[in-house]
Chain A
Amino acid sequence: MIRKIVYAIFIGIIIAGVLMFLSAFPFGENKMLVGKYYIENATNDAGAPNVVTAVTLLYRGFDTLGEVMVLFTAALGVSIIFAVEEKKKKVVQPPNFVVRVGSRIVFTFILLTGFYIFMHGHLTPGGGFQGGALIATGFLLLYLSYSDTGINRKRFMVAEGLGGIIYVFIGLIGLFVKGSFLANFLPKGTMFDLLSAGILLPLYIAIGLKVGSEFAGIVDDFMCEARCTGGEG
């Protein structure tokens, strides 16, 4: 009991110290120094009206490549830990009629919304990560409403590899054409069009494919762990 009180007081002292340090930056003041340059030059360099997308994919594109690599390593680790020799499906009670018929229609709309969000990532808020997570949630709905479903893992592995290879290829072509990795070499087009803004559209398509199939693979590993009887008995 003494340990808990001492730890709570210690954490309270640290939080009070950080709060006193943060009162030198008052809330709501205009303290942009680097952000001012990015906001003024985003439409000339990228041709896209969404400034957050231009910062993520054009000015800081290398960090996005690192994040995609971290996600790939985590999905690889999950599928190695859950590897069992042979799996048999357990018999669970099938859900009722309304869920089974209704989930087919809803699944189509969820897939359509996910594709729309990452195709228009450079015009409206959204992008590859949000659209990919929506597609994986659609597959989770299919798992919950049918008792004996399973997705084809080979097709998802092909889609995931294709997404990663396209990202690195676009970077290498930029290196050969213009002299730096991930440089903008496609024409910018007119603003507010769908096919505009240089390399931002193909990059977001590659990211959306890769993130969607990775999250769907993680969900499939967890669901099969909870539902199938493994080989160890």
Chain B
Amino acid sequence: MIYFEWILLVSIVVIAVFSIEVKDLLSAVILMGVSSLLVSFVFLLLHAPDVALSEASIGAALTMAIYVIAVKKTERREE
């Protein structure tokens, strides 16, 4: 488990690259939510419990609900 932080940080960057290249807008928004949750784990590795609670509850739950409603009221596929 020595390289646990390497796996976590590389997967955050890879998921972010996928989320701006996918044509389906709903999948892009869901990948954004997963990336926010993984960033909350990184905050816990850096010994910051207040910031981790805040990012998990505001960034991963409320922001994703607002994005999903915005995609539903507009188009679902790009171009």
Tell whether A195 is near chain B: CB-to-CB under 8 Å.
Answer: no
Which B residues, 42 to 76, have Cβ-Cβ distances below 8 Å to chain A?
49-50, 53-54, 57-58, 61-62, 65-66, 69-70, 72-73
Given contacts A225-B73, A226-B72, contact A129 B54 (CB under 8 A): yes
- Chain B contacts for A52, CB-based, 8 A: 50
Inter-chain contact B66/A222, CB cutoff 8 Å: yes
Q: How far is the CB of B47 from chain A (nearest CB, A)?
A: 11
- Chain B contacts for A225, CB-based, 8 A: 69, 73
Tell whether A215 is near chain B: CB-to-CB under 8 Å.
Answer: yes
Closest A residue to B52 by beta carbon equals A125
> Given A52-B50, A137-B61, A225-B69, 14 other A-B contacts at CB below 8 A?
A125-B49, A125-B53, A126-B50, A130-B53, A130-B58, A133-B61, A134-B57, A137-B62, A140-B61, A222-B65, A222-B70, A225-B73, A226-B69, A226-B72
Question: Could you list which residues of chain A lie within 8 angstroms of chain B, going by C-beta atoms?
Answer: 52, 117, 125-127, 129-130, 133-134, 136-137, 140, 215, 218-219, 222-223, 225-226
- Chain B contacts for A137, CB-based, 8 A: 57, 61-62
Q: Give CA–CA (A47, B54) in the complex, Å.
A: 24
Inter-chain contact A133/B73, CB cutoff 8 Å: no
A-B contacts at CB below 8 angstroms, number: 43
Q: How far is the CB of B78 from chain A (nearest CB, A)?
A: 16
List the 6 closest pairs (A to B, CB-CB), nearest first: A125-B49, A133-B57, A130-B53, A222-B69, A125-B50, A133-B58
Closest B residue to A143 by beta carbon equals B65
Q: Chain B: interface residue count, which band?
A: 10 to 19
- Chain A contacts for B49, CB-based, 8 A: 125
Q: Give CA–CA (A218, B65) in the complex, Å.
A: 11
Closest B residue to A129 by beta carbon equals B54
Q: How far is the CB of A145 from chain B (nearest CB, A)?
A: 14
- Chain A contacts for B53, CB-based, 8 A: 117, 125-126, 130
Inter-chain contact B65/A219, CB cutoff 8 Å: yes
Q: Give CA–CA (A134, B72) in the complex, Å.
A: 24
- Chain A contacts for B50, CB-based, 8 A: 52, 125-127, 130
